[in-house]
Structure 1
Amino acid sequence: MPDFGTETMARLLANPVLEVFPSSGIEERVAQLPEGSRISVTCSPTKGVDATLALSGWLRGEGFTVVPHLSARLVDDHHHLDAICRRVTELGIDEIFVIGGDVKQHAGRFSSAYELLAAMAELGHGFDEVGIAAYPEGHPWLPDETLWQHLLAKQPLATYMVTQMCFDPGAILAWIDRTQREGVALPVVIGLPGVVQRRKLLGLSLKIGVGDSTRFIAKHADLTARLMGSGRYSPEDLVTRLVLDAERQGLPLGGLHIYTFNQIDGTERWRRQMLRSLGGERGAGT
C-alpha cells in the first residue's frame, strides 16, 4: 500500500468496533480479544432487549468497552425506555447505538429511532456517544428522500453514524460525499463484514437487504465466485480500496464497525496480521 494510506489504515484497524449478537458460547469467542476492545451488541426481535443488556453487562465486567444496541420498535413505552437507560448507566456504559429495528410492526410507543432519541432527551438520559444507522445503498422500505430527512432530524441527538454492510467502496464514498452536500456532518463509521465463511456471508447479505451490493455481486463474476466458493471471505481488499480512494478524494473515515457474525477468531487474526503488515501491531483499546 502506498505510504499515504498506511497511517489511516493503521488508525482504523487499531481500534475498530466488533459487532456481536447474544448467543450460546459468545463469552468464549470474545475471550481472545484484548482488554478494552470495543464490542457492539445487537438487539433483535428474537432475543429482545434483555439479552442485549445481559451480554453487555457481562462484557463490561470483563473489561471491554461496550456499545449496546437499542431497537425503538422493541421498547414498550417511556417507562420501559427509562428503565433501559438507567440499567445501561448502572453498568458503567456511556455509549449506545439506536436503531429503528428490523420489524415493521412496533411493539409499543416508538416506531423509529428518531422517536426513541427524542424520548431519551426528554427523559434526561444523555450518553457520551450515541450512534445511529446509515444506508449508503438505501433502505429496504424507506425512500431515499425520507432517509435524508431522518438523518437531518436525528443529527442533533447523535454523535456518529454507522453504515450498513456494503461491498461497493464507490457507493460508500459517493454517499459520504453526498452527506456533506445534504448538511449531515456526523462522523461516518464504515460498516463492513469481518472474516466469514463466504457462502454464509452471501446468504446474510441477501437476507438483510444489502441493496445495490447484491446487484454489484451479480455484475462482478469474480466476487460472486469467491462468495459462492468454499473458504472464508476477507475484507482486506474492501478496506484497502476504501482507504486509498477516500484519501485521494479527501473524504473522512470516522472508524470501522466490523460485522463479525460472531466469527470473532478469524476476524481478530486478520486484524492483527494487517496491523503487523502496516508496521507494527497495536492492540484494540489502545
Structure 2
Amino acid sequence: MIQMAPTGLLTDFSLEMTGKDVPKLEEAAHAIPQGARVNVTFLGNEDLTMRVDAARVVKRLGFVPVPHISARRLKSQAELEEFLEALQQVDASEHVFVVGGDPATPEGPYTDSLAVIRTGILKDFGVHEVGIAGYPEGHPDIRTETLWEHLTAKSTLLAEQGLEQVVLSQFAFDADKVSSWIRAVRDRGIDSTIRIGTPGPAGIKRLLGYAKRFGVGTSAGIVKKYGFSLTNLIGTAGPDRFVTDLEQKVSAADEAAAKIHFYTFGGLLATAEWVQQYSAGK
C-alpha cells in the first residue's frame, strides 16, 4: 500500500506510550512520521530512570518527547526538580504534560496540576510548552464547573509565565460532545492547539474496560458510536467512525488547531498503521 500523508484532524497526530513500551516504539518507528509527538506516561509502577530513558529513546528515534508530570504522585518539589533536570539532560524537557494523576490522596505537596504550574519552575528547566488536561465527556469525580475553572486558571497562568500550551483531552467516544466542548474551550478565550484523546485500535474488552475506569460514556453508547456488538467481544475496534464523525462536525476554523492524540494501549504499530490505512481510504 502506498503510504498517504495524514490529513485533517490526523495531521500532526500524537501518540502515547508507557515507560515499558520502548521496544514497541522501536518496532513502530518506521510507520510514525518523523517529528511526531510521543507522550510518555508517569505511572506508579515506573520510576524516574524508566521515564527518562523512554523520553530519551523518543528523542533518539526522531520524535518529540512529551513526558507526563503526575502532580499527586510527586513526593516533594525536590523530586519534581530532579525529574525535570534529568529530562533536560537528555534534551527532553521542552514539552511536558502536567496532569493531576490517579492517586486519590496526594503523595506529596501537589494536590493537582495547577499546583505544579504555580511553582513557576517549569521554565527554569527548559520547558517551552505545557499540556493541560481537558474532559469533553466530564470526569467521574470532579464537577464540570470545577473542570472549567481549573482549565481557565491553568491557561491564564501559563500565558502569564510566557509558556505555550496545548489542551489534551481524556479519550472520548462521542463526536457531538467533543465538538461542543471544543467550541466551549474557544468561547473561554483559549485558542491553543487542542489534541483530542482517541483510543487507538484495541481489543474490545480492553477498550470497554478503560472507558469504565475513566467514567467515559457507557457500554451502550460506545457500541453505538463504534459500531461493534456487545454479544461478540472478540476482535479489535478502531476509531474509524469516531474520527470520521468528528471531522464532519469540527468547523474549518477549529480544524487547523485541533489534532488527534492516540491512547495506544501499547499498540503503537497498530495505531500508526491504522492512520495510514484510514488516510489511504479517504
Would you say same fold, with TM above 0.5? yes
Task: Give the corresponding residue for 2:13.
Answer: 16
- 1:103 and 2:103 aligned: yes
- 1:138 and 2:138 aligned: yes
Task: Give the corresponding residue for 1:223.
Answer: 227
C-alpha distance in structure 1 between counterparts of 2:50 and 2:199, whole Å: 23
Deviation track 1:26-46 (CA, whole Å, cap 9, x = no partner) reads 354434434433211111122
Q: Does the residue aligned with 1:63 lie in a helix, a strand or coil?
A: coil
Residue segments in structure 2 that go unaligned for 5+ positions in a row: 159-163
Task: Give the corresponding residue for 2:261.
Answer: 257
How many residues are paired up?
269
In structure 2, relative to structure 1, the CA distance for the partners of 1:82 and 1:216 (3 Å cut) is: same
The Cα of 1:224 is off from its aligned counterpart by: 5.5
Superposition pairs for residues 166-185 of structure 1, below 5 Å?
A: 166-185=172-191
TM-score, normalising length: structure 1: 0.84
Q: Does the residue aligned with 1:124 lie in a helix, a strand or coil?
A: helix
Letter in structure 2 aligned against 1:119: T
Task: Give the corresponding residue for 1:273.
Answer: 277
TM-score, normalising length: structure 2: 0.85
C-alpha distance in structure 2 between counterparts of 1:127 and 1:221, whole Å: 38
C-alpha distance in structure 2 between counterparts of 1:222 and 1:159, whole Å: 31
Task: Give the corresponding residue for 1:246.
Answer: 250
The Cα of 1:88 is off from its aligned counterpart by: 1.4
C-alpha distance in structure 2 between counterparts of 1:159 and 1:183, whole Å: 13
Q: Which moved more, 1:57-66 or 1:114-123?
A: 114-123
Q: Does the residue aligned with 1:23 lie in a helix, a strand or coil?
A: helix
Letter in structure 1 aligned against 2:222: I
Q: Does the residue aligned with 1:105 lie in a helix, a strand or coil?
A: coil
C-alpha distance in structure 2 between counterparts of 1:257 and 1:227, whole Å: 29
- 1:196 and 2:202 aligned: yes
The Cα of 1:15 is off from its aligned counterpart by: 2.4
C-alpha distance in structure 2 between counterparts of 1:120 and 1:247, whole Å: 35
Residue segments in structure 1 that go unaligned for 5+ positions in a row: 1-6, 279-286
- Give the conservation status (yes or no) of the 8 Å contact 1:82–1:123: no
Superposition pairs for residues 19-34 of structure 1, below 5 Å?
A: 19-23=16-20, 25-34=23-32
- Aligned residues with identical type, % of pairs: 28
- 1:233 and 2:237 aligned: yes
Task: Give the corresponding residue for 2:161.
Answer: none
